[in-house]
């Protein structure tokens, strides 16, 4: 139940950001705009327990379906505290097993519709198995070095980009925004498009 209460505030709890420049609905990391060669990388930091992320997910699915080769989109579970690490492992376990398309939205639905908060490994395992994943394969992936490495990388990226709210979008490792800064969920995607187009035009 504590997980649900935290989820209601996840997109609102922004820590002070006085040391980071903010303008036009986004913050910048570093002083110089990057020179982009190849696709512009866009990262979405999300948490399964976040109500705003749940609403954002179908918008992101529709948005990414229309991306061209000039944009590389990657989801990153926001591991901003130890309690969120568990859901991050669920995401990377799904990736390791190649079932992200099958279970990603199911995890959101379980938490936000069915009120099953997936706060234990057993609960996550049950959801995966109910979606056709072999239990032994789940166990192996969940406890693998690869998944643990991905979690540690997600933690590092959140620190590097000073992510303080979910969902957040990071464009080219330089621009960081969230729904409150951008003015809403759809506005966040519109801003992401403008920033990627700007980088590709430079």
Q: What is the pLDDT of residues 131-147, one digit of tens each?
A: 999 999 999 999 999 99
Compute the distance between CA of residue 88 and CA of residue 112 in angstroms, rounded to an integer: 17
pLDDT at 9: 45
pLDDT at 10: 61
Residue of 5, 14, 1, 30 whose CA lies nearest to 168: 14
The series of mean pLDDT values per 10 residues for the chain, 202 residues long, is 46 40 81 87 98 98 96 97 94 98 97 95 97 98 98 97 96 96 96 95 82
Q: Are 29 and 174 in contact (CB under 8 A)?
A: yes
The phi-psi region of residue 98 (left if phi > 0; otherwise alpha if psi is between -120 and 50; otherwise beta) is left
Q: Give the gyration radius of the chain's Cα atoms.
A: 17
Structural domains in the chain plus CATH codes: 2-201 (3.40.30.10)
pLDDT at 14: 40
Interhelix angle 51-65/100-112, nearest 10 degrees: 150
Compute φ and ψ for 44, nearest 5 degrees. Answer: -105, 120
What is the model's pTM?
A: 0.90
């Amino acid at each position: 139940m504590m997980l649900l209460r935290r989820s209601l505030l996840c997109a609102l709890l922004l820590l002070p950001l006085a040391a980071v420049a903010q303008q036009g609905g986004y913050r910048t990391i570093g002083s110089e705009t990057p020179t982009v060669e190849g696709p512009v990388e866009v990262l979405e930091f999300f948490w399964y327990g976040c109500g705003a992320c749940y609403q954002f997910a179908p918008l992101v699915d529709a948005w990414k379906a229309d991306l061209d080769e000039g944009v590389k989109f990657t989801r990153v579970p926001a591991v901003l505290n130890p309690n969120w690490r568990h859901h991050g492992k669920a995401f990377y376990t799904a990736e390791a097993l190649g079932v992200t398309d099958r279970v990603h939205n199911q995890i959101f639905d379980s938490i936000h519709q069915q009120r099953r908060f997936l706060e234990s490994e057993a609960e996550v395992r049950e959801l995966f198995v109910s979606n056709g994943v072999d239990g032994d394969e789940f166990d192996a992936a969940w406890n693998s070095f690869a998944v643990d490495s991905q979690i540690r990388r997600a933690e590092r990226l959140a620190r590097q980009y000073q992510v303080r709210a979910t969902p957040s979008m990071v464009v080219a490792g330089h621009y960081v925004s969230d729904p409150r800064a951008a003015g809403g969920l759809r506005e966040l995607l519109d801003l992401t498009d403008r920033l990627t187009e700007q980088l590709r035009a430079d």
